[in-house]
Chain A
Amino acid sequence: MPLFFHKKPALVVYVTCGDPDLGTTRDIVLAAIEAGADVIELGVPFSDPVADGPVIQRASERALKHGTSLAQVLTLAAEVRQQAQSTGLIIFTYLNPILRMGVKKFCLVARHAGVDGALVTDLPVEEAHEYLRAMRANDLAPVFLASPTSPDSRLKEIAAASKGFVYAVSRTGVTGARQQLANDAQKLVRRLRKVTKLPIAVGFGISTAEHFAEVGEFADAAVVGSAIVETIERNRGREAAAVAEFVNKLSAISSPPSARTG
């Protein structure tokens, strides 16, 4: 089984790096890992985050005010890797910072930093040829988004191009907490299961322990992003502790690997 997803459901935690500063992000990430996060998505702040809702937009603006860059996020990843060897690390970014750095250089640096994979929000499989080649040459896992609006033919292509896991977007829309989970998510996971054996993580709008448990019923992992970023925003000065509390609450729901069937 993938070391990625230790538990059922596994917990994928997203943070916007550099919010409020990179040192604090490192503390937050290590605290989240200690509290039971299986995979960390290191979000690279971008000036024009078209796929993100207000919470991550605000975090990105804060992080960019002091110039947080992709290069710095990769350095942070290397630091985290030194401290935590068995947690999956994914770079979560928009495409342009990678293009500016150079796709090949990005993959090389990411590999040396001990990163496991990347998810590029605005890079669909059709445009990913060069990226996929460089990712695979460096033994990095490309994770792609699947959406409720993706027809089956696209799901097949997405699954074929992905490694590590497939990220199923729970609903149409931008990132951000929601009161209720749409039943779009379950339908999408069912459709994805028909075309892939890769583990499936569900993300977008998962903000409470109830959502997390609900997703656990049908998916392998749940991604919690905006709710983490909001916790960071609301707990100035004690960000890492607050995130640890939140992650602990979610992890308590998961079954340990011994209880896993299949």
Chain B
Amino acid sequence: MANMKTMSFDAVIVGGGGSGMRAALQLAESGYKTAVITKVFPTRSHTVSAQGGITCAIASDDPNDQWQWHMYDTIKGSDYIGDQEAIEYMCQTGPEAIFELEHMGLPFSRTAEGRIYQRPFGGQSKDFGKGGQAARTCAAADRTGHALLHTLYQGNLKSKTTFLNEWYAVDIVKNEDNAVVGVVAIDIETGETVFVKSKATVFATGGAGRIYASTTNAHICTGDGVGMALRAGFPVQDIEMWQFHPTGIHGAGTLVTEGCRGEGGYLINKDGERFMERYAPNAKDLAGRDVVARSMVLEILEGRGCGPDGDHVYLKLDHLGEETLNAKLPGILELSRTFAHADPIVEPIPVVPTCHYMMGGIPTNVDGQALTIDKEGNDQVIEGFYACGEAACVSVHGANRLGGNSLLDLVVFGRASGMFIEKQLREGINLKEASEADIERAMSGLNRINNSEGGEKASVLRAELQTIMQNYFGVFRRGDFMQQGIEKLNELRPRIENVALEDKSNAFNTARIEALELQNLFATAEATAIAAEGRTESRGAHAREDFQERDDENWLCHSVYFPESKTIGKRGVNFNLKTREAFEPQIRTY
């Protein structure tokens, strides 16, 4: 231990996706010694898969558009447990953050006037829901995430950020004051373990869609940040809230952007009926994602699904014409032909709701500071620890995220975290050094895996975990089923802790990484299960058959999952808008 290599930085960002690179950019530009630890080369991060765009009131499509309307839509979309202060900050600051990206070179699609092209997305309105559908999602064709991620990587190259590419953060190092002073990480190429010490540690580790069997998420989305935070004893918030995207390609899980419906595509059942007209007479196919996903499942359950097993519906695009599809949705044509063997120019795409996004995560304030809750129920900042992007719950998405808001979330709050840490560094951050024992504690999980004998294969255990989550904690949830699911997870826990690692070699040992990722998947899944069972109402993405109504009296609040007691607490929703009076909860219809 004494001879363990140590590296030291002003700020360390764990995760090289959109939010991590936006935070890194801010800090590197300010001259602070900044490093990004990323388990894949940065442009391979999952932000790259975002398609449709980034929602923001830049008043291109509609010169009279207002960020306040975007704020209203987001609060309504969140089913009123999004923090209004954070949503206000995101929607108001958004245009500035978007224009910065454009100045950095992001190749947005353009309007005839030369401005950024915006398309309609679900849940968007003008004039606080009274002015009809808005078109507010800024797009680079249907490859916005790719364009954004590459632009941010390029910006970081220009600013000379230090990248620790293909390094895997294993666990948080805390000092005697319970402050975060860095992480233990593995250089995957050599297998070397290093203590990466930092005055500020930012978790931008993304989501954990791989806890489900069917997901749009990349293989790397394994909840590493949530897992590490929970092992360090820190809570997570609203972790029961998982978005199922209406249109994942049936069988493959690959995402088909909501932009397809924004451009005029729609869903049909086996009778060719545009069924969303029944469920959401006004917004139809552009209702909130939770609403559309549930409607699809109901169509399938009631026998109107398509295909030989009646287990999916169709997304119809052919009426848009070849020219529009080639210009606006070229990536979708590629994906559909490859993974659905369907050419959208002439035939519909088979789609099914698929796990897509983790609304919950590490609770933070708008400056990205991670929070815990003290015994009196008050927010308490965790010194040295920050989070942004999908790993964080700031919370702008509440119980249901609107399409196009994830990219905005990650640039706005990556930027905000960077700016705040810059300020703190300027004022001086003084955290106590970690002791040998503190570092040893962060090594314990890795040591256990490295010394494992026997045990079952990670791939087998992972598949079992994903099946449990899919079956017991999916689009529709029920108390007695969820209790069975929790029991099954309890049985799985010791087997996952005892996962096999037969290959103890050092060079690019992906088996070791997968064994570690499995621990994070399990931690995220367990928190999800307990929080889902605990929230006895239906709200946003959390739909319970045994509690079908939203219960504002008891549950107009965040759930907070504490890992040591494995219990759920409640935390108030922030209703403190700076620019106007709060939006009071309304019945949510589209």
Q: Indicate whether A and B interact.
A: no
Name B residues whose Cβ lies closer than 8 Å to a Cβ of A. Answer: none
